[in-house]
């Protein structure tokens, strides 16, 4: 059904050096990197929803 409202999907992927070992398992930087990526995703969601960054207006 076309209601005149379009939508888009934006996929953001992140990866840090030291996040994974050569065999694909989590490495020593995995937790730190995952936290940084999660924070960036949250900020992007807030930005795209029109909220002020850092105000936690959009739930995780």
Q: What is the pLDDT of residue 19?
A: 93
Q: What is the pLDDT of residue 29?
A: 93
Indicate if the pLDDT at residue 57 is higher than 60: no
Alpha-carbon torsion, ordered 54, 60, 47, 10, to 10 deg: 150
Q: What is the pLDDT of residue 56?
A: 54
Residue range 8-23: average pLDDT? 87
- Mapping DSSP to helix (H, G, I), strand (E, B) and coil, where does residue 29 land? coil
Q: What is the pLDDT of residue 54?
A: 58
Residues 6+ apart with CB under 8 A from 51: 57, 58
Give 23-55 pLDDT, tens digit per residue: 999 999 999 999 999 998 888 888 888 866 555
């Amino acid at each position: 059904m076309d209601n005149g409202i379009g939508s888009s999907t934006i996929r953001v992927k992140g990866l840090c050096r030291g996040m994974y070992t050569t065999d694909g398992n989590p490495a020593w930087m995995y937790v730190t990197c995952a936290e940084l990526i999660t924070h960036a995703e949250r900020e992007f969601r807030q930005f795209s929803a029109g909220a002020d960054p850092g105000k936690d207006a959009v739930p995780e």
